[in-house]
């Protein structure tokens, strides 16, 4: 599989169609990698037992005049990024059944390719403005980072795969991008672009973006036209912008060692000192 010399580092990047992939942001990362780098299909997870075909329906198509049925399945790609880096990419619909066994099969393939780090990706709809950088949540090795947002609620297969990989001793990183739900379900190249840029920083390699920056700019422009033609939407986006800017300002103050922060801490400590002690009142 590899040329002579030191083996390249192998990482795994996984994304899944469906509930975990608002506006196709996450799965388009895999498609971008496959289209920009030398890649080959190196494995599949058998479809039977994992999919409800009334939910994830097969597709009929014609190839050179012959009928072919394409069944839902997970595909693994071996992608050559450089002489020192390979990506094992996992792409497929979220399975309907057998999630734990599905994750075990995924990790068996990861072990076969001697994967050292696993990255899971997803995207979700949220109340966020298209006029600002899209919110991105990052969790590293299950412990989280400064960008991690605490979450309790329904989860999808990326979370389960990430947890299973962590339990099996893999180094894991989870990336989730939020996209404006007021723009509907059309592809969001801005979300894919930010995921690609974040992945580049994490792996220390500038990944080829192709025409993603141009598509992202066009996406923002179309969204702005839609907004300016709808006064109610324009007002709603203005409110989201205000909330976003206030949250960024609060985050910036909290992460700084400025006099304003010191003053707030001093005032809080003084307030606590002035509070009556429960024991003295009894």
Is the distance from CB of 41 to CB of 91 less than 8 angstroms? no
Strand 171-180 and strand 136-140: pairing?
A: antiparallel
For residue 68, the SS3 value is strand
The pLDDT of residue 181 is 96
The pLDDT of residue 267 is 62
The pLDDT of residue 280 is 46
For residue range 25-78, what is the model confidence (pLDDT) as tens digits?
Answer: 999 999 999 999 999 999 999 878 899 888 888 899 888 888 989 888 999 999
Local confidence band at 146 (pLDDT 50, 70, 90 cut-offs): very low
For residue range 95-134, what is the model confidence (pLDDT) as tens digits?
Answer: 999 999 999 999 999 999 999 999 999 999 999 999 999 9
Instruction: Give the Cα separation of 107 and 49 in Å (integer).
Output: 18
The pLDDT of residue 48 is 80
- The residue among 240, 15, 252, 269 whose CA lies nearest residue 119 is 15
Region 229-234: what's the mean pLDDT? 97
The CATH number of domain 9-212, selected from 3.30.450.270, 3.40.50.10900, 3.40.50.880, 3.50.50.60: 3.40.50.10900
Q: Indicate the average pLDDT of the chain.
A: 88
β-partners of residue 119 are 13, 173
Region 180-193: what's the mean pLDDT? 97
Strand 117-126 and strand 9-17: pairing?
A: parallel
β-partners of residue 92 are 16
Instruction: Give the Cα separation of 96 and 19 in Å (integer).
Output: 11
What residue ranges do the domains of the chain occupy?
Answer: 9-212, 231-274
| Count of residues in the chain | 282
For residue range 201-213, what is the model confidence (pLDDT) as tens digits?
Answer: 999 999 999 999 9
User: Taking the model in full, what pTM does it have?
Assistant: 0.84
Region 213-219: what's the mean pLDDT? 98
Region 222-243: what's the mean pLDDT? 96
Residue 253 or 9, more confident: 9
Instruction: Give the Cα separation of 25 and 27 in Å (integer).
Output: 6
The pLDDT of residue 140 is 84
DSSP conformation letters of 191-216: HHHHHHHHHHHHHTS----TTHHHHH
Strand 85-93 and strand 9-17: pairing?
A: parallel
Instruction: Give the Cα separation of 133 and 207 in Å (integer).
Output: 19
Strand extents, DSSP E, 99-236: 117-126, 136-140, 171-180
Instruction: Give the Cα separation of 238 and 275 in Å (integer).
Output: 40
Instruction: Give the Cα separation of 267 and 265 in Å (integer).
Output: 5
Instruction: Give the Cα separation of 71 and 261 in Å (integer).
Output: 57
Region 252-278: what's the mean pLDDT? 63
| Per-residue tokens: 228 | 């300016």
Instruction: Give the Cα separation of 138 and 159 in Å (integer).
Output: 12
Is the distance from CB of 172 to CB of 120 less than 8 angstroms? yes
Strand 66-70 and strand 59-63: pairing?
A: antiparallel
| Per-residue tokens: 7 | 């083996």
For residue 58, the SS3 value is coil
């Amino acid at each position: 599989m590899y040329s002579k010399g030191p083996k390249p580092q192998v990482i795994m990047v996984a994304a899944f169609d469906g509930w975990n992939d608002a506006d196709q942001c996450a799965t388009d990362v895999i498609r971008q990698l496959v289209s920009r780098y030398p890649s080959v299909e190196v494995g599949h997870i058998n479809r039977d037992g994992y999919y409800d075909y009334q939910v994830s329906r097969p597709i009929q198509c014609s190839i050179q005049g012959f009928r072919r049925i394409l069944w839902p399945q997970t595909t693994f790609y071996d992608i050559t990024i450089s002489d020192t880096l390979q990506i094992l990419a996992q792409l497929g619909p979220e399975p309907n059944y057998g999630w734990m066994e599905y994750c075990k099969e995924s990790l068996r393939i990861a072990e076969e390719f001697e994967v050292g780090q696993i990255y899971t990706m997803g995207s979700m709809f949220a109340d966020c403005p298209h006029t600002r950088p899209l919110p991105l949540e990052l969790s590293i090795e299950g412990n989280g980072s400064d960008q991690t947002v605490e979450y309790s609620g329904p989860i999808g297969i990326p979370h389960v795969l990430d947890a299973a990989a962590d339990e099996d001793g893999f180094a894991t990183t989870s990336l989730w991008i939020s996209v404006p739900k007021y723009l509907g379900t059309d592809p969001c190249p801005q979300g894919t672009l930010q995921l690609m840029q974040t992945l580049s920083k994490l792996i220390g390699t500038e990944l080829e973006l192709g025409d993603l920056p141009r598509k992202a700019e066009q996406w923002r422009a179309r969204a702005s036209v839609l907004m300016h033609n709808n006064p109610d939407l324009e007002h709603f986006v203005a409110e989201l912008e205000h909330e976003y800017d206030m949250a960024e300002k609060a985050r910036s103050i909290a992460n700084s060692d400025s006099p304003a922060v010191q003053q707030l801490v001093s005032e809080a400590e003084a307030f606590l000192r002035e509070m009556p002690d429960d024991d003295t009142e009894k």
